[in-house]
Amino acid sequence: MLVGAGMMNISESRGARKTAGVDRISNLPDSVLAHILSFVSTEETIHTCILSKRWKSVWASIPVIEFDFGKFLGDRKVQTGKGSMKKIKEYEVKYVRFVKGIILNREALLLDKFKLHWFNGSMDYYYAPKSVIDLIPHALKFKPRVLSVKFRLNKCKNSNIDSIFTCASLEDVLLNYNYDLNKFAPNSINLPCLKKLELKVLYIGNDFLNKLFLGCPVLEELSLCDCRLYFDRIDSNTLKKLTISDSYQEVQKLEIFTPGLLYLEIAKCMTTNVSVRNMPSIVNARIDFGWYDDYDVRTGSELNFLACLSNVTRLNVAFMKCNIKEMLKNAACNCPTFNNMKSLTILLSVDYNFDLIAFFLHNSPNLQNITLLDNIVWSNGSPNLGLEEPKDNLSPREHLKMVRIVNCNCKTWKISSITLDLLVKNFYAHVRTIGKIIIDN
């Protein structure tokens, strides 16, 4: 079928139809043909106009338009290093003309998705021409449901993107561009249908965030990746999923107040003081503590943070450069209990100390599965790094379904047999029966 083969075998398809004597595909209604073409790239869709007069204008009504300049260069094997700028500019002129022609000659029909990506991983230094950015308001006139834009700007003040924040049809948006929404927030935000928003490589301030939550009354998913965070509060009654990753906290304290949240992720962030409260609905969470070298929260407050997430059923937590002894000492005074937790994943990049694992075993009465992600580099040659023989006089829990031990550094180092034996001994000292122990070394 045309969808499966793409546009690679157009001539073969034409020959097959002539042989059969009946062109069943071309006899389909325009709406069906447009739906079929939405599964192939925009460039391939345009090529269908050579099939027959019947196909000449079908491309103009497809519900999906996707432009990816990085992929366009890759398909033509154009090198994208800094020394190839002249060649890239030559292709850029042609591609801009192509993109503009598609948008301006499109029939007045609604769009389901509009995608405009102007760089890939090897082109992070490359600025998109302003003529490309100016096409975005034209595309928004077709009221897309999904929008995905990805580019680098040279002069942020003249970005001409405020229209994105007032396109009432948008439900799912990805914005990946180097823009300062702290200094240059849009005048207003009116996105009544927006449910999912992903922001990357942005500077984000309180003014923008306040306007966002006021102008997006049904926003359920918010993702901030590789951003500079200049706001001190996230306050939303509608959010169900919040992700903050690879970002830098520019304020002294960040409060998260999202009572309807089901999923929370704070991963690989340069954060110093984040607090959460009133999350009775939380189900899944991934939290990284002490990811960076200048991490300065060494007060043992990590478990106080996790206590606010005590209703989770699945928890993925990393303790990278934390003071485990201080943390457990504080927990003895104010010990959180995770009554709903059934699955726990712990990433360790500190000295092995089973006391932390024992803490979760004894304070998670319904825990069924536990995974240890070992990220330790044996720089001092010691195979055990703090693991000891299990202590006597323990009151072990009855049962665990599965224990999984994964060596994240398996290409360079392997967990020693001594360490594995001590881990297993400690587990059986704290759990009477374990259904399955899996070791990925």
Domain annotation covers residue 325:
yes
53 lies in some domain:
yes
Biggest CA pair distance of the chain: 85
Question: Whose CA is closest to 118, among 108, 110, 131, 127?
Answer: 127
Domain that holds residue 382: 290-441
Residue by residue, pLDDT tens for the chain (441 residues) are 333 334 344 444 444 444 455 566 666 666 666 666 666 666 666 655 555 555 656 666 678 888 888 888 887 788 776 667 788 888 888 888 888 888 887 776 788 999 999 877 666 667 788 888 888 998 999 999 999 999 887 765 556 678 999 999 999 999 998 888 988 889 999 999 999 999 997 899 999 999 999 999 999 999 999 999 999 999 999 999 999 998 888 888 889 999 999 999 998 887 667 888 878 899 999 988 766 544 444 445 677 788 888 899 999 988 766 666 667 766 656 678 899 999 999 887 655 568 888 889 989 999 999 998 876 544 344 444 567 777 766 778 899 999 998 876 555 556 677 778 888 888 999 999 999 999 886
Query: According to the model, what pLDDT value does residue 65 have?
Result: 85
Bridge partner list, 275: 255
- State the pLDDT at residue 439: 86
Find out whether 376 and 352 touch, Cβ atoms under 8 Å. Answer: yes
Measured distance CA(266)–CA(317) in Å, rounded: 10
> Please, which contacts does 274-281 make with residues 24 or more away whose CB atoms are closer than 8 Å?
274/249, 274/305, 275/305, 275/308, 276/305, 276/308, 276/309, 277/308, 279/308, 279/309, 279/311, 280/311, 281/311
Residue 339 lies in a domain: yes
In a domain, 21, yes or no: yes
φ, ψ (nearest 5 deg) of residue 185? -70, 150
The candidate with the shortest Cα–Cα distance to 39, out of 9, 68, 6, is 6
Q: Are the C-beta atoms of residues 304 and 334 closer than 8 Å to each other?
A: yes
Looking at the DSSP bridge assignments, the partners of residue 233 are 255
Q: What are phi and psi of 154, to 5 degrees?
A: -90, -45
Q: Which helix (H) or strand (E) holds 318?
A: strand 314-319
234 and 210 Cβ atoms separated by less than 8 Å: no
- Say if 34 falls within a structural domain: yes
pLDDT at 81: 65
Per the structure, the count of domains in the chain is 2
pLDDT of residue 121: 62
> 88 in a domain, yes or no?
no
How many residues does this entry show for the chain? Answer: 441
Closest by CA to 92, choosing from 72, 121, 116, is 72
d(CA 27, CA 41): 22
Do the domain assignments include residue 160? no
Structural domain contains residue 255: no
Residues paired with residue 397 on neighbouring β-strands, in sequence order: 431
What local confidence, expressed as pLDDT, does residue 148 receive?
95
CB 250 within 8 A of CB 225: no
